Amino acid sequence: MTEYPQTERTTALRMRERMSYDREAAHAILDEGWHCSLAFVRDGLPQVLPTLHVRLDDTLYLHGSTGGRMGLEARGGGLPVAVTVTHLDGLVLARSQFHHSANYRSVIAHGTATLVTDPQEKLRVLTALTEKVAAGRAAQTRGPNDRELAQTAVLALPLAEVSVRSRTGTAGDDDEDLDLPYWAGVVPLRLAAGLPDPAPGVRVPVPDHLRPAASPWLTPTPLRGTHVHLEPLDLAHTDGLFAALGGDEQVWEHLPSHCPQTREQMETVVRAILAEYAAGRRVPYVQRDAVTGEILGTTSLYPEERVRALEIGGTIVARPRWRTAVNTEAKLLLLTHAFEVLGTRRVTWQTDVRNLRSRAAIERLGAVPEGVLRGNRNRKDGSARDSALYSMLADEWPAAQKQLTSRLLHGVAAR
């Protein structure tokens, strides 16, 4: 462990116990941060600009425009700057207002930032910055051309005069306040990526490097069979789903959503499904014809990792594919993933008691009827729905797998 040397500018005047000059700790805070605040003096007045940054070894690189204040001021001999990156980890609530505070980690770096003029170094830094925004992104984007490079300013700040300041722990009330009848403690805060929202005109799925890491139970792992492929549902599938399912009232008869009559209505349905995925309640798939690539419908897993159980539901398939191998193989793929990859102990299905076609299809999968859940769901008209409940346990899976595999080999559909 090495430390940065203390200087007059990095030595705290108070609460020195919160200070550190550890090089690794400073690097970790800089690398975790997405943006920084850059301070400098222009015409005798202080300026502060938010900007993106990336650290390579012991140099901090700052992104800007050659025509902006940062780029203009750095021409010549460089620009004296102070750069700070702060992570707010929690709000500290005390019994007294005076002792309210925050838990945080911050770095302040001082020095002279100089413009990067070498084209190869600038390209290396911009590629690293793109990779910091999203790992794997540089390979899936167009690199900057000569005009864009000329418009982009990159400043290099050697990390030589650096300090770390942080606070951890709970409220620091005075002894005389400890018996006051007020709540005290910490409200943790964290920065988390949401579900990527594509720009207008984008028709390709969200790439894997933008999907947040999650438990295997919450990850829509692609599943491939002979007749059908299951891939993670994405807004880019909206057109294909509308072509397969839109306007067909019979397909949506027993579903809680109204039949989409326009592409915009189908997009609303897809966004609602993806919102459940983002909340960790649902793992949605789109179903494609394994030969033609045509979108056929959607299906989902509803995991309960804590009890090693999941439900298969939300299945909507284009009517021409009813009673074909598509549903049989899709369920075989999902059940294989559930029992043999996730190690689930129990898989369940629920369907409207009035949906006799769906109930027969579930029973043909080898699921065991458990009874009726009374009034546990809403129908699209707002009335209470009674649901027929089916299940399959891990020790019942081998026989069901053999039966479903045999059906596929002999061309007998489960739906």
The domains of the chain are located at: 16-188, 211-409
Question: What per-residue confidence (pLDDT) applies to 365?
Answer: 93
Question: What per-residue confidence (pLDDT) applies to 1?
Answer: 60
Residue at 236: amino acid letter: A
User: Which secondary structure element, helix H or strand E, spans residue 359, and what is its range?
Assistant: helix 356-364
CA-angle at 44, arms to 39 and 45, nearest 5°:
50
Say which DSSP state 8 is in.
T
As a whole number of angstroms, the distance between CA 283 and CA 277 comes to 6
Say which DSSP state 237 is in.
G
As a whole number of angstroms, the distance between CA 223 and CA 35 comes to 38
Residue at 43: amino acid letter: D
Helices (H), 108-210: 119-133, 146-151
CATH number of 211-409: 3.40.630.30
Its pTM surpasses 0.85: no
Helices (H), 298-364: 325-336, 356-364
The distance from CA 195 to its chain's CA centroid, rounded to whole angstroms, is: 5
CATH number of 16-188: 2.30.110.10
Task: Select from 370, 290, 296, 285 the least CA-distant residue to 334.
Answer: 285
Domains 16-188 and 211-409 are alike in CATH topology: no
As a whole number of angstroms, the distance between CA 340 and CA 328 comes to 18
Question: What per-residue confidence (pLDDT) applies to 36?
Answer: 96
Tally Cβ neighbours within 10 Å of residue 302: 17
As a whole number of angstroms, the distance between CA 154 and CA 163 comes to 23
- Kindly give the confidence (pLDDT) of every residue in the chain, 415 residues in length, as a single tens digit, with 9 standing for 90 and above: 699 999 999 988 888 889 999 999 999 999 999 999 999 998 899 999 999 999 999 999 999 888 887 877 878 788 999 999 999 999 999 999 999 999 999 999 999 999 999 999 999 999 999 999 888 899 999 999 999 998 999 999 999 999 999 999 999 999 999 999 999 999 999 888 887 888 888 888 888 778 776 789 999 999 999 999 999 999 999 999 999 999 999 999 999 999 999 999 999 999 999 999 988 899 999 999 999 999 999 999 999 999 999 999 999 999 999 988 999 999 999 999 999 999 999 999 999 999 999 999 999 999 999 999 999 999 999 999 999 999 999 999 999 999 999 988 877 554 4
Residue 53 and residue 61 in contact, taking contact as beta carbons nearer than 8 Å: yes
As a whole number of angstroms, the distance between CA 132 and CA 31 comes to 8
Which residues are bridge partners to 302 per DSSP? 311
Residue at 114: amino acid letter: T
CA-angle at 174, arms to 169 and 176, nearest 5°:
140
- Taking the CA of residue 228 as centre, how many other CA atoms within 13 Å lie in the half-sphere pointing to its CB? 26
Helices (H), 79-165: 119-133, 146-151
Tally Cβ neighbours within 10 Å of residue 88: 13
